[in-house]
Amino acid sequence: MAAAPLTDPFYQTMFDLTGHTVLLTGGYGHLGRAIAAGLLAHGARVVVLGRSADSFTKAFGDGVANLHFVFCDVSETASVQAAFQQSFDQYGPPSVLINNAFYSRGQQPDALPDADFALGLDGSVGTAYRCLREVLSYFRQAGSGKIINVASMYGVVAPDFGAYTDAPQFLNPPHYGAGKAAMIQLTKYFASYLGPENIQVNCVSPGAFPSDKVRENAGFEGELQRRIPLGRVGEPQDLAGAFVFLSSAAANFVTGHNLVVDGGWTIR
């Protein structure tokens, strides 16, 4: 018989990530830093996978407890395999993989060269597939695991092009939205495929989290604010809780879900 809710220790520890190793791609970027901080605050060991140790140190400083860097180029399978093996050897088996890395090239919607379009799709969703595929042997050995993919509100809705009239340099190109929509479908596909193996796959779709550099354009930030029911753009820390939740035991019965964190943009 299950313990009574008021005495069941699960409720006291359901967000506790102590003893769990989280692999995080794109961990020293604008949103990655907040994701890492949230996970660390709840006891996780976070292994940031990226191409620049200098960028990692610049983002986090030296000697942060339970925070580590392992070189990984997510565009290359061999690099992903080597990074996962190194992390396993040094920090033990992973409990969670967060696919946050992204790359792209080209912006003009109706004039993208084939190579740019293909690169953008790979940078949006190919990276996640490579990492998902390569982490499965570790999760299968452990008998469980959680995968969290990062998509975008523009994988759910088309851009409101009026927001970019006076700031066309910030327009998200078509291969970005197409790739992020594919990320949401990839999530659902593998949530169904891996569910019988006790491996959960979920997705987070942020919206309107402009970088500090972008926010220097006050007019553009104002255009974003007017389209968000909460009346403001997202701050990086607004995103952290979604990843703590989906990484934790609190989300043990959640899979195939796309958690939209957009201040309400997509409800209109």
4 token code pair? 């009574």
Give DSSP secondary structure letters for 72-111. Answer: --TT-HHHHHHHHHHHHHHH---SEEEE---------TT-
Q: Which whole number is the average pLDDT over 218-222?
A: 97
Q: What is the mean pLDDT of residues 75-99?
A: 98
Q: What are phi and psi of 108, to 5 degrees?
A: -60, 115
In the chain, the percentage of residues whose pLDDT exceeds 90 is 97
- pTM for this predicted structure: 0.97
pLDDT, tens only, 25-56? 999 999 999 999 999 999 999 999 999 999 99
Alpha helices in the chain (DSSP H): 10-13, 32-41, 53-60, 77-91, 114-121, 127-142, 174-194, 212-215, 218-226, 237-247
Tell me the CATH number of domain 17-267, given options 3.40.395.10, 3.10.20.340, 3.40.50.720, 1.25.40.10: 3.40.50.720
217 and 167 Cβ atoms separated by less than 8 Å:
yes
pLDDT exceeds cutoff 90 at 2 = no
According to the model, what pLDDT value does residue 6 have? 84
Average pLDDT over residues 87-114: 97
Q: Which two tokens stand for residue 245?
A: 């939740």
**Token output for 34:** 């907040």
Please state, as a whole number, how many other Cβ atoms lie within 10 Å of the Cβ of residue 99.
Answer: 29
Q: Is 161 left (phi over 0), alpha (psi -120 to 50) or beta?
A: alpha
Q: Regarding beta strands 199-206 and 258-261, do their DSSP bridges make them parallel or antiparallel, or are they unpaired?
A: parallel
Beta bridge partners of 149: 99, 203
In what helix (H) or strand (E) does residue 49 lie, and over which residues does it extend?
Answer: strand 45-50
pLDDT of residue 182: 98
Residue 14 carries which side chain, given as an amino acid letter?
M
How many angstroms separate the CA atoms of 210 and 217, rounded?
10
DSSP 30: T
Token digits of residue 242: 């979604």
Checking if the pLDDT of 4 tops 80, the result is: no
Mean of all residue pLDDT scores within the chain: 97
Q: Are 156 and 205 in contact (CB under 8 A)?
A: yes
Phi and psi, residue 51, nearest 5°: -100, -10
Q: How far apart are CA 158 and CA 98, in angstroms?
A: 25
Q: How many Å apart are CA 35 and CA 39, to the nearest integer?
A: 6
**Residues in CB range of 105: below 8 A, 6 or more apart:** 116, 119, 120
DSSP 238-260: HHHHHHHHHHSGGGTT--S-EEE
Give me the pLDDT at residue 1, please: 58
pLDDT tens for 122-148 read: 999 999 999 999 999 999 999 999 999
Pairing of strands 67-71, 96-99: unpaired
Would you say residue 156 has pLDDT above 90? yes
